[in-house]
Structure 1
Amino acid sequence: MPKSSKAITVIPRQVLEDRNVRTLTEAVQTVPSVVDSGDIFGAPSGGVSIRGFGLGFSPRENLRDAVPDADYIDIIPIGTIERVEVLRGAASILYGAVEPGGVINRITRQPLSEPYYQVALEAGNYGYVQPSIDFSGPLTADGDVLYRLIAGYERSDYIQPFVEEELITVAPSLTVNLGDQTTLNFYYEYARYFSDAPKTDAAFLSDGSLTPRDLYLGYPIPGLYAITNHRMGYRFTHEFNEDLQLRHNFAISLADFIDNRSGALDTIEDDRFFTFGVGENESSRNRYFGQVDLLAEFETGSIAHQLLVGFDASLSEDDYTAQFAPNVPVFDIRNPNYDYAPDELVPEFDRLTRITNYAAYIQDQIALSDRLKLLIGGRYDWLSSDTQGGEPGELSTTESRRIQNDGAFSPRIGLVYQPSDTVSLYASYSRSFNQTIGLSQDGSAFEPSRGTQYEVGVKTDFLDRLSATLAAYEITKTNVNVADPDDPDFEIQIGEQRSRGIELEIGGEVLRGWNIIASYAFTNAEISEDPVFAGNQVGGVPEHQASLWTTYQIQSGSLEGLGFGLGLFYVGERPGDSSNTQILDGYFRTDAALYYRRDRFNAAINISNLFDSDYALGGSGVFAVRNEPFTIIGSVSWEF
């Protein structure tokens, strides 16, 4: 029975395989209060919102084995993931500068002590094909050195012409047992996504409909979208005894990004003539993270403690340049002429940003009795950001340099009471923060945005097979930047957002072979302070959201191993942006699966968007992020 004072959802590997998810954002669609914001021009990346707050712009919000790792652009190979944990609510005490909605932590597949070999092949519509391997086992006779190698190649076309996509993943890892109490894990992960003429987004027409799904809304000749990620690091653990453990993590993430395409919508005339921004963006994002902590268990009289004390440090360096093409011809969607390539590119801006973060934290989980647990802790962060550049030629000038130093304390208090072995009641208070970088008229720095959360909930097991969690929360985020009403080129810090909601999730085995994951979320996300939009709903956040994923597998007889899966996903209507002048329609999507598992043989057919529903995941004004069309993928794998 879980005793956490937070709402946490764990998505195991079996569910990821049953649904045959291809991206991390797709993997978390069954979690309440998590709303998919769409991919990034077809790449297996993107962002979500949790409890009404956008997630993915900070690498501290997407974790790899509890270590800050990726933002919404980075490629996250789904084949390396063992399970996904979604921690909803303010989480700054453990992870630092994050949005108050929560964080996503993916637990990767580790080397195994027994030989394991899997070969798999997937194929689907739009020319999709993906061969992959997963090999693991001991490298030495004594089993002290273990390895794992996960690799795959993926390519596909799309319903739009010109689009060709490739994804390469290579992920070796090594575990060295230095003794009964000491372990050292090394990993490296290479992922490269390449699209020559990337998928284009859609546009809203004057009647609220979307441009044709198979229309390539842009010029394919300058098209190129490529992301390369290198991840490497190690994790060291040493148990001094059964009550004291030392843990140390070090991680490096190196990313290169090229965006050379058209498709940034500027204007639409007569629902026919479109003007685009065409340009070339390049960036490199290098991140370094180190952490050391001690986990101790001890007693003071009759009271038991689990004490965590630690320190972490990180460095992030982003180098970003952009150019644009002048005099781009008007695009006629009724008679598209794709024969265009820019003659020249004009420098637009060049920016270099360096952010350092140091933090110390302490947390104590106190067992006041067998039924009552108290958690109390705090974290203090020291942040410094150094941004140079902006307009072309400013990178080397001292006038363009902006330095900002911030410090913030994030407390957390939680209480769990178990009236029985199957029921837990919890309540918690926590704060979060995020550094706010912007430009004020007087040049002064902004205060960090602060999130404050109150949450109560109940977790229960019933029928010996099912578990349920019901949570209610209020989160207020202050110190939000808004446009300066005296000069919109600058910002002022008076904004506030408040999110109140209720979440329900049920999961487990209804009957032998029949499993379900069901969720519902009500979210009232409101702009509570703003000179223009106060009282409006937060853009992109629905009040109602629900999902159901259920599978049944025949347990005996000649058809043993044959299974069926059904997924239902509902997201209600929501405003496109803070002005609330445009309302995005709610949508309902149906997924289905048919699979057969016998011994070490697995075969499956997965269908996403069974009825080819067409809707906008997000967008405002003329710009729209569209959902994926009907997709069918067949897969087969062998383990030996």
Structure 2
Amino acid sequence: MWNLQLPLLAATLVSVFFAQTVLAQEMNPSQNLTDNQENPSLHQINLTTTHANRKIRQLSELEPVFTSAQMLLVQSPTPTSEIVQVTQVKANPTSKGVEVILQTSKGQQLQLVNHSTGNNFIADIPNAQLRLPSGDTFTFRSNKPIAGVSEITVTNLDANTIRVSVTGEVSQPVVELFDSPDEGIIFSVASALSATPSQQQPQTQQPQTSQPENQTQPTQPSASGDEPIELVVTGEQDNYRVTDSSTATRTDTPLRDIPQSIQVIPQEVIKDQQITRISDATRNVSGVSPLTGFANAFDIYTIRGFTNYNILTNGFKTGSYPPATASVERVEVLKGPASVLYGQIEPGGVVNYVTKQPLSDPYYAAEFTVGSFSFYRGTIDFSGPLTTDKKLLYRLNVAYENSGSYRDFYNYDNFTVSPVITYKPSENTALTFEYQYGRRRGGFDRAFPPNSPALTLPITRNFGEPNDFNNLDYHRASLTLDQHFGKSLQLRSALFFQSFVDNSAYVNINIIEPDGRTLERDYSVNDNLLTKYYSWQTDLIGKFNTGSIAHQLLLGLELSRNTSPPGLLSNYNYSTGLINIFNPVYGAGRPTTLENATYYSGKTDTLGLYLQDQITLLSNLKLLVGGRYDFVDSVNSTRPLGGDINSSEFNGNAFSPRVGLVYQPIEPISLYASYSRSFVPNTGRTASGEILEPSRGTQYEVGIKSELFDQRLSATLAAYDITKTNILTTDPNNTDFSIAVGEVKSRGIELDVAGEILPGWKIIASGYLNDAFVSKDNSIPVGRRLENAAYHGASLWTTYEIQKGDLQGLQFGAGIFFVGDRIANQSDPFTIPSYVRTDAAISYKHDNWRAALNFKNIFDVKYYDTNGYYAFPQAPLTVLGTISLEF
């Protein structure tokens, strides 16, 4: 066991120094005053409340100040308070136009900076962010809300600034400002029909009664007596475009500022596609292929050609067993090496499931789905405050799913319950406890062997036995403390625990014999095989300036232990396992003795120390630098019944760096380049007894991120080159041992697009080319492709929702998913054919209810996926009907 004292001592000393440095900057009482004195042309409006609604001087009365990028850098206001969360944006029609309300209880802490130009009224609000109570960011947009105004948008300009923009059709609109302790900041926009010189005098208005977002608002006649104006609002929380993510940096950072490709599948896509198995969400992401297998109970992914058995849930490694779909808010896919933040991860990338969190307002939802192959699923999602002061919040997700299958002898039922409690004793402190219990009971399915005759068989055929079973139980719990110390220092510390029990007995399939019809089988038993995982993560995040350069520094510590107490892993019986694939006869008996049983145990301890700095060199030039040092001690043992113990181990350390640069020549465009490394331990020893070096991945990536259609649509185009070295290969001098000399490469281009082209018309699409191949090996030919790594693939899903009239709320959707051919077995290649799957959907929502029909594989295409060895027939035409209710 490595000694933890020195690394822990070093981490403690750095943490103390880091905290003192940030607090020292924060507590400098003259900093803000000095900044304003040195920049007398900088105009800010401090919102201080003295009345219920207080008129604020119009921004049109202020002199615009920023005339160049250099001046913008020098004169941008220094943050003077913590980031204020604006939790909702409302639009209410008035007799003179419309008022837009930025709802927050801390309006008095905000400042406004004038950027108005031409026909555009533009106001930036530093130290603020649009963020829903669930934690998601969002954008408010209203197209042609009133006469003379073509668009109103409220969006996150960056992680620390909200931008309010009102675009006039002919001239700059007249906008008045008010603040209210009950509502927040109010922007009153006058229509061209009602704007008069007198309107520019200070007035006080009471906000209209607010209505739910994303619905047509009731209107009032304009001052001129014209017909009422219909106000239609669309919100980012109901969009396919996501603006930021924490997976890539462990901080809330806009995606456009991250020098790495990261794609997010939000709740809206999961709902519109009626995804019942959460891994299917990643079919919308370029370069990602979910692997099918192990009774469809586990999530394994091939990303950029590399297979990753470790998924994340809220940033914690949870192995291959996913959380319930009903409890997942969104799916985030980080492309490329992620070891700098998460340790032992394959270089292709990682998938992170972000779960639903408590809401501050009451929310109740129920949903029921019924579909083909006797599929039934019911879910409830309740959330809200438990106390009147909203300091104690909760969320409860419960789901039950029962299904048959298009495969013989295969059915299952799943049950999950996921309560979350958040306690906020103050504005700066939040303590969250989250628990999830899952239970799966069902059959088992190994599908078809990797041989050509298998593709001619009916997709219903199962070569297991009717009494095979796969029973799984898991418990997950986490406790997270989020503590802010003033405006620029944050401590986030979390404990995580998971236990997983596998109790199953099933027939394995092997190869088809030379006669082309006889299949070899064996029997496997997992007798309550238990694994436990413990983890503690602590992050210290500080924001400070060194001169004109802004920093967001992350210092982190992770301790984890993964254990598997000794348990019965498998029991084989070869004598009764043969079966004819064209005329199968079932009824093979289970083994009655333990003569071939094997016992397994394992333990892996990890200590990771990581440091990351997000540096804003200029307003349009950002640098990301980070590194992590891991200390790993791993030992795994197997022991045949009555035999000797066979152990493999790894004891060592590894450093994983990352550096990236983002340049934004104009606001909608981000050009980036990055370099990053990853590692995965190699267990075992060489013939001479030496510990094998870990496998290392190195990636170079360049790309461009853009925001189109007035920031409604985002696109990422990335090119990458990954080399993975120190891969285990057979020792040519002693075939009983391995040496780490193998190498593989993966190169490719990816495109991902998501967002809203026009009001109601949403799209998420992807396409990729990937060349993943063996570049060095002792036994596998150089140039052979990697398993489940398609050379090309693409996807397109789009929906349109009618925005007005009697059919408002009616939505149509369609999608195409293409995956090229892949090999399923690298040592003896077997090709899985390419396929194109077409889906469609229709739904209708009105008030608080929604009904939907989803049609998957509407042309009944026969296609296959793989787990890197077997060929798994996928579902034929499938229909799902859903009724949901929110109140």
Report the TM-score, using the length of structure 2 for normalisation.
Answer: 0.69
Q: CA contact under 8 A between 1:235 and 1:249: conserved in structure 2? A: yes
Deviations 1:70-127 (A, max 9, x none): x22x242111111111000111111011001111111110111111111111111111
Match of 2:698 among 443, 452, 455: 452
Equivalence for 1:102: 349
- Secondary structure of the residue aligned to 1:336 is coil
1:21-420 counterparts in 2 under 5 A?
21-43=275-297, 45-56=298-309, 58=310, 62-69=311-318, 71-72=319-320, 74-195=321-442, 197-203=443-449, 206=452, 209-221=455-467, 223-268=468-513, 270-282=515-527, 283-319=529-565, 320=567, 321-346=569-594, 347-393=596-642, 400-420=646-666
The 3 A distance-change label for structure 1 pair 204 and 385 is closer
- Secondary structure of the residue aligned to 2:358 is coil
- Secondary structure of the residue aligned to 2:737 is strand
- Secondary structure of the residue aligned to 1:419 is coil
| 1:598 paired to 2:843 | no
- Secondary structure of the residue aligned to 2:268 is helix
Deviations 1:148-172 (A, max 9, x none): 1100111111123332211001011
Q: Between 239-248 and 153-162, report the one with greater CA deviation.
A: 153-162
Deviation at 1:207, TM superposition (A): 5.0
Equivalence for 1:589: 837
Q: CA contact under 8 A between 2:802 and 2:809: conserved in structure 1? A: yes
Deviation at 1:219, TM superposition (A): 1.7
| 1:551 paired to 2:799 | yes
Q: CA contact under 8 A between 1:11 and 1:84: conserved in structure 2? A: yes
Question: Which structure shows the bigger proportion of residues in strand conformation?
Answer: 1
Equivalence for 1:531: 778
Deviation at 1:329, TM superposition (A): 4.4
Q: Between 137-146 and 481-490, report the one with greater CA deviation.
A: 481-490
Deviations 1:300-321 (A, max 9, x none): 1111100000111000002452
For 2:784 and 2:293, the matched residues in 1 are separated by 26
- Secondary structure of the residue aligned to 1:28 is helix
For 1:285 and 1:536, the matched residues in 2 are separated by 35
- Secondary structure of the residue aligned to 2:294 is coil
Tell me which amino acid in the other structure corresponds to 2:742: G
The 3 A distance-change label for structure 1 pair 370 and 205 is closer
Deviation at 1:25, TM superposition (A): 1.7
Tell me which amino acid in the other structure corresponds to 1:570: F
Unaligned ranges ≥5, structure 2: 1-253
Deviation at 1:343, TM superposition (A): 4.5
Q: Between 301-310 and 31-40, report the one with greater CA deviation.
A: 31-40
Deviation at 1:618, TM superposition (A): 2.2
- Secondary structure of the residue aligned to 1:446 is coil
For 2:437 and 2:453, the matched residues in 1 are separated by 45
Q: Between 572-581 and 507-516, report the one with greater CA deviation.
A: 572-581
Q: CA contact under 8 A between 1:236 and 1:248: conserved in structure 2? A: yes
Match of 2:740 among 487, 493, 506: 493
For 1:242 and 1:83, the matched residues in 2 are separated by 28
Equivalence for 1:16: 270
Tell me which amino acid in the other structure corresponds to 2:782: A
Deviation at 1:619, TM superposition (A): 6.3
Q: CA contact under 8 A between 1:595 and 1:602: conserved in structure 2? A: yes
Equivalence for 1:570: 818
- Secondary structure of the residue aligned to 1:476 is strand
The 3 A distance-change label for structure 1 pair 52 and 636 is same
Tell me which amino acid in the other structure corresponds to 1:517: I
Equivalence for 2:719: 472
Deviation at 1:26, TM superposition (A): 0.4
Aligned residue-pair number:
627
Unaligned ranges ≥5, structure 1: none
Equivalence for 1:6: 260
Tell me which amino acid in the other structure corresponds to 2:612: Q
Tell me which amino acid in the other structure corresponds to 1:556: K
For 2:769 and 2:351, the matched residues in 1 are separated by 20
Tell me which amino acid in the other structure corresponds to 2:329: E
Tell me which amino acid in the other structure corresponds to 2:375: Y
Tell me which amino acid in the other structure corresponds to 2:276: R
Equivalence for 2:885: 638
Tell me which amino acid in the other structure corresponds to 2:675: Y
Q: CA contact under 8 A between 2:449 and 2:512: conserved in structure 1? A: no
Equivalence for 2:708: 462
Q: CA contact under 8 A between 1:202 and 1:210: conserved in structure 2? A: no
For 2:439 and 2:735, the matched residues in 1 are separated by 39
For 1:579 and 1:340, the matched residues in 2 are separated by 30
Report the TM-score, using the length of structure 1 for normalisation.
Answer: 0.95
Q: Between 427-436 and 338-347, report the one with greater CA deviation.
A: 338-347
Deviations 1:165-207 (A, max 9, x none): 1100101110000211000000110111111x32341245545
For 1:620 and 1:476, the matched residues in 2 are separated by 20
Tell me which amino acid in the other structure corresponds to 2:270: L
Deviations 1:535-573 (A, max 9, x none): 222122111111101111111111111111111111112
Match of 2:671 among 408, 417, 425: 425
Larger Rg: 2
Q: CA contact under 8 A between 2:572 and 2:591: conserved in structure 1? A: no
Q: CA contact under 8 A between 1:220 and 1:261: conserved in structure 2? A: no
Q: CA contact under 8 A between 1:202 and 1:213: conserved in structure 2? A: no
For 2:552 and 2:612, the matched residues in 1 are separated by 8
Deviation at 1:216, TM superposition (A): 2.3
Deviation at 1:439, TM superposition (A): 5.0
Q: Between 596-605 and 205-214, report the one with greater CA deviation.
A: 205-214
- Secondary structure of the residue aligned to 2:793 is strand
Equivalence for 2:143: none
For 1:33 and 1:620, the matched residues in 2 are separated by 16
Tell me which amino acid in the other structure corresponds to 1:286: K
Identity %: 38
For 2:758 and 2:709, the matched residues in 1 are separated by 10
Deviations 1:224-254 (A, max 9, x none): 1011110001110100011000000110010
For 1:424 and 1:404, the matched residues in 2 are separated by 41
For 1:570 and 1:516, the matched residues in 2 are separated by 16
